[in-house]
């Protein structure tokens, strides 16, 4: 089910859909159905033009990112959970190059809170996709290099998704309040999943992307397509979790 979910969601993102529209246009062109070819070519052009626009991409992503405000002051807690993201195992690269930027951003936010607390535990999470080091282990290595004590780190090496992270976290923190760190776009779904299991969360969103960039190159950009891709992934995740009664 996990792999099936990932495959299906991968084809429901902006670029695959746009390429499918172009493919349909090409097929109709090959069969001399010019009106239909022009129609799907126009749809593909409109699709990419709209979704690569900063105003539209921000409007799609903003409702997700605006669900919870930034946690500027660190409350007194015993646990900080940093949800997993992604990495690439390559010992020839620095740890900061192996861990993806989203994961680094989340971890730095978690460490920011950790530095403001005494005797707090930093929980890092994520499994091994390709059989190498788990994502939790990579985050542990990065956290230690940034000054976190090894004995203050708790690794969750097995969770493949947020629902599994909920289950494993509950075993550690119970009903005790803890800081939950994840991307702002992912926070809404995460909170719903955690609250469904009765956990006491203090949201600390980070990695906000839906903001106005005044540079000329930002008005139409691949970065805007990426914002829409992130938003669609989260909206699909919300629907999937609702269907499965997880939220």
Q: Are residues 98 and 163 in the same domain?
A: yes
Q: Is residue 226 part of a domain?
A: no
Q: What is the pTM of this model?
A: 0.88
Spatial CA neighbour of 40 closest among 27, 53, 57: 27
* The dihedral formed by the CA atoms of 222, 223, 228 and 234, expressed in degrees to the nearest 10: 130
**pLDDT tens, residue by residue, 181-227:** 999 999 999 999 999 999 999 999 999 999 988 888 889 999 999 99
Q: Are residues 127 and 163 in the same domain?
A: yes
Q: Are residues 22 and 92 in the same domain?
A: no
Work out the pLDDT band at 63, boundaries 50, 70, 90.
very high
Q: Is residue 242 part of a domain?
A: no
Mean pLDDT of 56-64: 96
Q: For residue 2, give its domain range.
A: 1-52
Q: Is residue 240 part of a domain?
A: no
Q: Mark which of 52, 70, 90 sits at the end of a domain.
A: 52
CATH number of the domain where residue 198 is located: 3.40.50.620
Q: Are residues 146 and 40 in the same domain?
A: no
Spatial CA neighbour of 153 closest among 128, 166, 134: 134
Specify the 3-state DSSP secondary structure of 35. helix
* Total domains in the fold of the chain: 2
Q: What is the pLDDT of residue 64?
A: 96
Q: Are residues 32 and 121 in the same domain?
A: no
Q: Are residues 89 and 153 in the same domain?
A: yes
And the tokens for 77? Answer: 């807690």
Q: Is residue 111 part of a domain?
A: yes
**pLDDT tens, residue by residue, 156-181:** 999 999 999 999 999 999 999 999 99
Q: Give dist(CA 201, CA 13) in Å, integer.
A: 30
Q: Is residue 62 part of a domain?
A: no
Q: Is residue 43 part of a domain?
A: yes
Q: Are residues 112 and 160 in the same domain?
A: yes
Residue 90, pLDDT > 90, answer no
């Amino acid at each position: 089910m996990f792999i099936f979910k990932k495959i299906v969601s991968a084809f429901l993102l902006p670029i695959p859909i746009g390429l499918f529209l172009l493919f349909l246009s090409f097929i109709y062109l090959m069969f001399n159905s010019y009106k239909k070819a022009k129609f799907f070519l126009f749809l593909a052009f409109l699709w990419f033009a709209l979704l690569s626009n900063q105003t539209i991409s921000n409007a799609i992503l903003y409702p997700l990112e605006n669900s919870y405000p930034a946690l500027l002051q660190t409350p007194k807690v015993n646990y900080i959970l940093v949800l997993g993201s992604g990495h690439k195992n390559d010992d020839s690269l620095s740890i900061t190059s192996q861990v993806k930027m989203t994961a680094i951003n989340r971890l730095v936010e978690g460490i920011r809170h950790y530095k403001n607390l005494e005797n707090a535990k930093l929980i890092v999470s994520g499994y091994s996709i390709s059989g190498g080091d788990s994502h939790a282990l990579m985050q542990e290595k990065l956290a230690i290099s940034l000054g976190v004590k090894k004995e203050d780190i708790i690794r969750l090496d097995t969770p493949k998704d947020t629902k599994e992270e909920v289950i494993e976290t509950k075993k550690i923190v119970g009903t005790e309040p803890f800081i939950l760190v994840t991307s702002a776009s992912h926070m809404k779904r995460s909170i719903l999943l955690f609250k469904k299991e009765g956990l006491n969360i203090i949201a600390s969103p980070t990695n906000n992307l839906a903001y106005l960039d005044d540079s000329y190159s930002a008005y139409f950009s691949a970065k805007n397509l990426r914002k829409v891709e992130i938003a669609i992934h989260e909206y699909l995740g919300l629907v999937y979790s609702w269907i499965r009664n997880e939220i």
